[in-house]
């Protein structure tokens, strides 16, 4: 749709601009302020320049090593859950029933985990996985598998990953389902006449149509897994040791636990910058994909 | 041709995987602590409502639900009323910096709440809103307003421009057009956006917990604290968990046909 140029539209956007600026810019300014200062308590602050940033980006210091370790852990976590959730989500979307009450029932069950408060998600899996009272832990241990997410690193990781798959795969599935629904029947009929195989239909018709929603899905999943805090915090508390301490958990530990304002602020800014860059890359790809879509064939 | 071989099995397995942990929580909420700790039973052998009765009669428990609902409702109303005009502007007009503004909004939806926990604490303490539902409601605007703008923009773009033009020719003023014509036309979109604001405010814990201490403590914070104090009352914890699932489950039913579109930020 062609839009008209109208600078007065700013008046309509102004309330949103103000409230988001109040919620985002103002706090970020205090973060910037803290990140360049040091304190000995009593609200006395000293100029510290880029000292905190130097320490943060130096892997040999205490702060730096903690930051890089949690960052690596978090990236590994995001990579693992994306490789599980995206194919699984597509598979579930392809398996959805076509019509009738079953569609509504499936949609409601799929959406259910998404609406559970995040700490309750943690609680559910904490209870479900416990070897003494949880169905999962009890069954696994009685099958002869020594499973204990509190003391074993691998089990803790497996629990957090399965929990995230449980919690968020539905999101990818719902997105893909919406994308699949928008494919006209004529495409499938044409494919049938051509005698295309099931795989060919998927590759040539369904996957291209899913491009856009998958992009949104991957973006949302990457971002939300990159800022994950509550669920692993409730289940494992970041442990055993530091094995499931992700960036947000580390940040909250430094900021609200130790009240190390300068370190926390520097970490916040770098963290936010990473998010912003990834976001920008996705946004550019997304808007470009939209443009290519509307361009006629052969246009430059 | 829509579907794949073996789809029934795949879907059934996945749905069971989704429901099993929830079933376990419901199961535990109807058990006595004695039964939970001493035996492993697949359903409650001595079903009891004691856990639920305790939550509904103890003020420190049920006030948690009321506090949570307060800030969630304030936040939903704020987010929608702020986002509506902006969504219209983004959908209809080009203006200086519109693309950058849109990206900036998106980036706030993605910003990690952990980054904002401490500055929000300082900010709302400084202006005297700490430990009120308003603090949490305003803090949640950080990600809900951008989300509402995104979703509503998609729905407003679905309304043909001709309708605006006809309305203005008929002598409608802008506010009158907005309230009388546009809002009814995108009512379902507003419903979806409200649902998502409700949902993301309802499920968030970190900011809600940081910005409250006593008077406005949300249910999620009540759950974490009471449990550690009373030495793991599993049945009570499970019952409280089940009660937090119910509001979500109720509202899903009303928007079930729009869920997917909303998650795609109105862009399917």
List, in order of start, the domains of chain A with CATH numbers. Answer: 74-254 (1.10.3720.10)
The pLDDT of residue B83 is 92
Task: Give the CA distances from residue B224 to residues A7, A100, A253, B84, B227, in Å, rounded to whole numbers and listed in that order.
Answer: 49, 41, 17, 36, 6
With CA atoms as reference, the chain B residue closest to A218 would be B264
The pLDDT of residue B76 is 94
The pLDDT of residue A98 is 76
Q: Do B25 and A127 touch (CB under 8 A)?
A: yes
Q: pLDDT over 90 for what percent of chain A?
A: 13
Element (H, E) at A39: strand A37-39
Same domain for B242 and B205: yes
In a domain, B69, yes or no: yes
Q: pLDDT over 70 for what percent of chain A?
A: 93
- In this model, does residue B230 exceed pLDDT 60? no
Which of B105, B249, B263 lies closest to A175 in CB terms? Answer: B263
Same domain for B206 and B100: yes
- In this model, does residue A85 exceed pLDDT 90? yes
* Average pLDDT for chain A: 83
- In this model, does residue A126 exceed pLDDT 90? no
In a domain, B191, yes or no: yes
Give the three-state DSSP class for A83: helix
Angstroms from A70 CA to nearest CA on chain B: 14
Q: Residue B265: pLDDT band by 50, 70, 90 thresholds?
A: low
pLDDT tens column, A88-117: 999 999 888 877 788 888 888 888 898 888
Angstroms from B49 CA to nearest CA on chain A: 19
Same domain for B220 and B103: yes
In a domain, B158, yes or no: yes
**Bridge partners of residue A38, in order along the sequence:** A46
Q: Residue A86: pLDDT band by 50, 70, 90 thresholds?
A: very high
Cα A121 to Cα B21: distance, rounded to the nearest angstrom: 9
Same domain for B135 and B71: yes
Select from A146, A23, A10, A109 the least CA-distant residue to B105.
A23
Same domain for B210 and B135: yes
Beta-carbon count within 10 A of A291 CB = 9
The pLDDT of residue A298 is 40
Task: Give the CA distances from residue B96 to residues A5, A151, A252, in Å, rounded to whole numbers and listed in that order.
Answer: 9, 56, 38
Residues from chain B that touch A268, judged by Cβ atoms under 8 A, are 114-115, 118
The pLDDT of residue B134 is 92
Mean pLDDT within A70-84: 93
CATH number of the domain enclosing B214: 1.10.3720.10
How many C-alpha atoms does A147 have within 13 Å on its Cβ side? 21
Mean pLDDT within B104-129: 85
Same domain for B102 and B31: no
Angstroms from B203 CA to nearest CA on chain A: 4
Same domain for B128 and B36: no
Q: pLDDT over 70 for what percent of chain B?
A: 92
The pLDDT of residue B8 is 85
Which of B202, B234, B252 lies closest to A133 in CB terms? Answer: B234
Q: Who wins on pLDDT, B138 or A42?
A: B138
Same domain for B136 and B10: no
Select from A177, A203, A205, A178 the least CA-distant residue to A189.
A205
In a domain, B218, yes or no: yes
The pLDDT of residue B13 is 92
- In sign, the C-alpha dihedral spanning A227, A230, A232, A233 is positive
In a domain, B145, yes or no: yes
- In this model, does residue A242 exceed pLDDT 60? yes
Same domain for B124 and B35: no
- In this model, does residue B60 exceed pLDDT 90? no
- In sign, the C-alpha dihedral spanning A146, A150, A154, A157 is positive
Same domain for B166 and B195: yes
In a domain, B184, yes or no: yes
Cα A247 to Cα A255: distance, rounded to the nearest angstrom: 12
Cα B127 to Cα B138: distance, rounded to the nearest angstrom: 12
Q: Who wins on pLDDT, B242 or A6?
A: B242
Residues from chain B that touch A5, judged by Cβ atoms under 8 A, are 93-95
The pLDDT of residue A297 is 41
The pLDDT of residue B261 is 65
- In this model, does residue B224 exceed pLDDT 80? no
User: Residue B40 is part of which domain span?
Assistant: 1-48
Same domain for B66 and B9: no
User: Are A232 and A249 spatial neighbours (Cβ–Cβ below 8 Å)?
Assistant: yes
In a domain, B268, yes or no: no
Same domain for B223 and B147: yes
- In this model, does residue B238 exceed pLDDT 60? yes
Most confident residue range from A183-192, A205-214, A284-293, B140-149: B140-149
- In this model, does residue A2 exceed pLDDT 90? no
Cα B9 to Cα B185: distance, rounded to the nearest angstrom: 41
Which of A4, A191, A198 lies closest to B4 in CB terms? Answer: A198
Phi, psi of B23 (to 5 degrees): -60, -40
- Tally of domains within chain B: 2
* B residues 187-226 closer than 8 Å to A (CB): 199, 202-206, 210, 219-220, 223-224
With CA atoms as reference, the chain B residue closest to A257 would be B118
Task: Give the CA distances from residue B214 to residues A256, B121, B233, B240, in Å, rounded to whole numbers and listed in that order.
Answer: 18, 15, 21, 18
Residues from chain B that touch A35, judged by Cβ atoms under 8 A, are none
């Amino acid at each position: 749709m062609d839009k008209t140029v109208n600078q007065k539209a700013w008046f309509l956007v102004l309330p949103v601009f103000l409230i988001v600026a109040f919620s985002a810019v103002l706090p970020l300014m205090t973060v910037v302020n803290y990140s360049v200062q040091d304190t000995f308590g009593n609200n006395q602050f000293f100029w510290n320049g880029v000292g905190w940033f130097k320490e943060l980006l130096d892997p040999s210091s205490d702060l730096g090593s903690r930051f890089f370790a949690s960052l690596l852990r978090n990236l590994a976590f995001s990579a693992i859950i994306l490789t599980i959730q995206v194919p699984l989500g597509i598979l579930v979307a392809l398996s959805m029933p076509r019509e009738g009450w079953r569609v509504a029932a499936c949609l409601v069950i799929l959406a259910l985990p998404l609406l559970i408060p995040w700490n309750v998600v943690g609680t559910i899996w904490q209870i479900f996985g416990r070897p003494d009272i949880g169905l999962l832990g009890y069954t696994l241990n009685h099958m002869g598998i020594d499973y204990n997410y509190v003391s074993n690193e691998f089990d803790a990781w497996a629990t957090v990953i399965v929990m995230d798959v449980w919690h968020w795969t539905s999101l990818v599935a719902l997105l893909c389902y919406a994308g699949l629904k928008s494919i006209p029947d004529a495409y499938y009929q044409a494919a049938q006449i051509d005698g295309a195989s099931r795989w060919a239909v998927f590759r040539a018709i369904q996957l291209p149509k899913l491009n856009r929603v998958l992009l949104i899905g991957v973006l949302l999943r990457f971002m939300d897994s990159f800022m994950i805090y509550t669920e692993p915090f409730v289940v494992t508390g970041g442990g055993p040791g530091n094995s499931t301490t992700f960036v947000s958990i580390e940040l909250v530990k430094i900021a609200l636990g130790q009240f190390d304002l300068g370190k926390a602020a520097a970490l916040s800014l770098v963290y936010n910058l990473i998010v912003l860059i990834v976001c920008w890359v996705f946004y550019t790809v997304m808007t470009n994909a939209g443009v290519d879509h509307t361009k006629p064939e052969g246009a430059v | 041709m829509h579907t794949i071989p073996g789809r029934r099995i795949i879907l059934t397995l996945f749905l069971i995987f989704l429901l099993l942990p929830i079933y376990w929580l419901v199961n535990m909420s109807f058990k006595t602590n004695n039964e939970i700790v001493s035996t492993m039973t697949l359903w409650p052998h001595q079903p009891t409502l004691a856990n639920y009765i305790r939550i509904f009669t103890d003020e420190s428990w049920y006030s948690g639900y009321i506090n949570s609902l307060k800030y969630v409702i304030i936040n939903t109303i704020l987010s929608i009323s702020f986002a509506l005009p902006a969504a219209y502007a983004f959908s209809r007009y080009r203006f200086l910096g519109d693309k950058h503004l849109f990206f900036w909004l998106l980036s706030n939806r993605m910003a990690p709440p952990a980054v904002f926990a401490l500055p929000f604490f300082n900010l709302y303490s400084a202006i005297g809103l700490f430990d009120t539902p308003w603090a949490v409601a305003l803090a949640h605007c950080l990600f809900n307003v951008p989300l509402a703008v995104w979703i509503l923009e998609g729905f407003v773009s679905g309304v043909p421009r001709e309708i605006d033009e006809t309305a203005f020719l008929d002598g409608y003023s802008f506010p009158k057009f907005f309230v009388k014509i546009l809002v009814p036309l995108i009512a379902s979109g507003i419903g979806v956006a409200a649902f998502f604001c409700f949902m993301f405010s309802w499920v968030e814990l970190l900011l809600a917990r940081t910005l409250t201490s006593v008077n406005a403590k949300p249910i999620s914070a009540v759950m974490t604290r009471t449990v550690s104090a009373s030495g793991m009352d599993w049945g009570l914890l499970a019952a409280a968990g089940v009660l937090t699932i119910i509001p979500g489950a109720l509202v899903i039913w009303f928007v079930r046909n729009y869920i997917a579109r909303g998650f795609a930020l109105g862009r399917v």
